[in-house]
Amino acid sequence: MSPVDDDFRETLEKLFRHEVFRPRDRLDYDGRCALTYDRLRVVGEHLPPGSALLRDLPRLFTLLEWVAIADPSVFLALTLHVCLGLGAVVEFAGDRAEDHVRELDDLSSFGALLVTEAGRGNSHLDIRTEAEYDAATGEFVVRTPDEAARKFMPNVGLPGAPKLGVVYARLRVRGRDHGVFPFVARIRTADGVPPGIRVIALPEAPLLPLDYALVEFDRLRLPRTALLSDDARLDADGVLDDPLGGPDRRLRRALEIRHNAWVASAVALAAVARAGVRNALRHAENRVTASTFTAQRAVLDHRAHQRPLFAAVADCYALTCLVDKVKAARVRSAAGRPGGEEDSAWTPGPGLNRTYGLTKAIAARLADRIVAESGRRCGAHGVFTTGRWVDYQGMAHMLGPAAGDSYLIVLEAARGMADGRHYTPPPEEDVSDVEDLFDPRLWLGLIRTRERRLHHRLTAGVRLARRRGQGAFDAWNNRSLLGNEVVGAHVARLMVEAVLDAVRDHPAAVAGAARALGAMHALAEVSEHAAWYLCEGLLRPDQVRRLADLDNELCDRVQSTIGALPQLLDVPEPLLARRVTR
């Protein structure tokens, strides 16, 4: 978990002892959604206001971790409220929107973000909701041009839960399109939905229940102050002065708010992955099992149980290291402190923003796998709500497409990297003289070289396609799968580097466990692409054979340090799984 001061930890412990967090079974969908907002209100009562948390990122991250482990739906509602709704108001209006900030801070309304549109893929890049400025009244008239442009799945469907929304719409003045800006609009009060807005509840989403809805605007009138204009200014006559200079840049700027959600999601996903493996380890240590070839003993003594579980623990550790590095970079960048300039992936600005998105994407994929494996290793005891297995896996599944689809984030990153935008491939490293498979120089050398060579193949392919006169669509489309592979290699490299950085910094008590898990993760990464390394002449056949024989040794290394895992993969004790049988 993020390091946390004693006062804050005490506050969090008290918060999760509150009656509202008592486990509830057998609620219907609306009851489940209502409980989410009851819990969110109690979170608000116990903690500093959202705008203060946005200025104190270490505490915000800790809160998100605890909440995600306790209740993923509350995590999502909290993220939408603080990081996106309130976050957008603060980011794009600051002091000019103090009334809205106050309303969201004291939870008179919950925050929501309305960006996605229902009818087209990748709709964030082609938003069609319109806000026409009417200079005669000084108001905006917001409309949904057709069904395809209805806002898709903001959490505004629950009657009685007031929502203040940030709506992404094209600013039009006298018919001219000035690009996409965020506007504040009251979507729902305690009494219902205001005129000019239609809210249609979506079907239930059992993997991460929330009051998702479709929203349609029919000449909704908003005051001029509703425009979150950032550094642009719209005067009363409708003359816009936008220093960004054009709709494309304005859209990119408006979408930057997603970075808050990417980091929050990555933080939460790593936290539930840790909870999953900690619950599974505790189960395995206490579970005595019968067997035909030995006396009764703990299930964790069996290799066949160790190997898949320890692999999940190792991936969880690697994910935690990457996410910790992202958190630190986010804190540094928010404070305007430089750092990490030696690698484009950690350079504040577009390079670091790409890393936020890719970390969210890999976190969703890995957390899904880690939690599924952890749950499976608990057998029939891993199917009940006490371990929140379904909640965690549901969250991992749902955060894949949330805040921008992860696959699209990866493909967008791949295109940028192919063009060399804010990206420099790592140097090729000759590690042919490193014989020891446990030597980190070997892992790093191989993994970096793979990223570099795949990237070279991609850029050469795109160049060749252009020379042959292929159109822009085909030139990229036919190489997008290779682009996906390049990004996979890039993220794998960032993760192994993060592990090795962390291993260097850990206190002695956990350093052995960190080394063992780091080795297991890195060697799994190398093994997965052993055929490629062989073909490229980077590994010899005898090395590949030895790689395949390492399982028992890797397990022994992890097993011998198992006592350090609770400290290394910290999860608040009160939030660990309760026993199924009491």
35, 93, 149, 153: residue in contact with ligand FAD (rule CB under 6 A):
153
Q: Establish if 154 lies at the interface with ligand FAD (CB under 6 A).
A: yes
Q: Establish if 418 lies at the interface with ligand FAD (CB under 6 A).
A: no
CA-nearest of 79, 225, 221, 220 to 154 is 79
Residue 409, token pair as written in the block: 């984030």
Question: In sequence order, what are the residues at sequence separation of 6 or more whose Cβ sits closer than 8 angstroms to the Cβ of residue 528?
Answer: none
Tell the smallest beta-carbon distance from residue 117 to ligand FAD (Å). 8
Residue 33, token pair as written in the block: 């959604």
CA-nearest of 126, 142, 132, 227 to 175 is 132
411, 417, 495, 516: residue in contact with ligand FAD (rule CB under 6 A):
411
- Beta carbons of 377 and 309 less than 8 angstroms apart: yes
340, 404, 426, 572: residue in contact with ligand FAD (rule CB under 6 A):
404
First to last CA, the chain: 28
Distance in angstroms (rounded) separating the CA atoms of residues 45 and 60: 15
List binders of ligand FAD among 73-92 (CB under 6 A). Answer: 80
Binding mask 181-220 for ligand FAD (x = CB under 6 A): ---------------------------x------------
38, 343, 405, 429: residue in contact with ligand FAD (rule CB under 6 A):
405
Q: Establish if 518 lies at the interface with ligand FAD (CB under 6 A).
A: no
Decide whether 205 or 562 has the Cβ nearer to ligand FAD: 205
Decide whether 404 or 572 has the Cβ nearer to ligand FAD: 404
Residue 102, token pair as written in the block: 């106050």
Tell the smallest beta-carbon distance from residue 142 to ligand FAD (Å). 15
Distance in angstroms (rounded) separating the CA atoms of residues 82 and 60: 9
Tell the smallest beta-carbon distance from residue 250 to ligand FAD (Å). 18
Question: In sequence order, what are the residues at sequence separation of 6 or more whose Cβ sits closer than 8 angstroms to the Cβ of residue 548?
Answer: 527
Decide whether 73 or 449 has the Cβ nearer to ligand FAD: 73
Decide whether 2 or 79 has the Cβ nearer to ligand FAD: 79
Q: What is the distance of C-alpha 485 from the center of its chain? A: 20
- Binders of ligand FAD: how many residues, by CB under 6 A? 23
Decide whether 123 or 344 has the Cβ nearer to ligand FAD: 123
Distance in angstroms (rounded) separating the CA atoms of residues 122 and 404: 8
Distance in angstroms (rounded) separating the CA atoms of residues 316 and 325: 14
Q: In the chain, count H helices and then E strands.
A: 21, 13
Q: Establish if 409 lies at the interface with ligand FAD (CB under 6 A).
A: no
Tell the smallest beta-carbon distance from residue 187 to ligand FAD (Å). 11
Q: Establish if 123 lies at the interface with ligand FAD (CB under 6 A).
A: yes
Residue ranges in contact with ligand FAD by CB under 6 A: 80, 113-116, 121-124, 152-155, 208, 398, 401-405, 407-408, 411
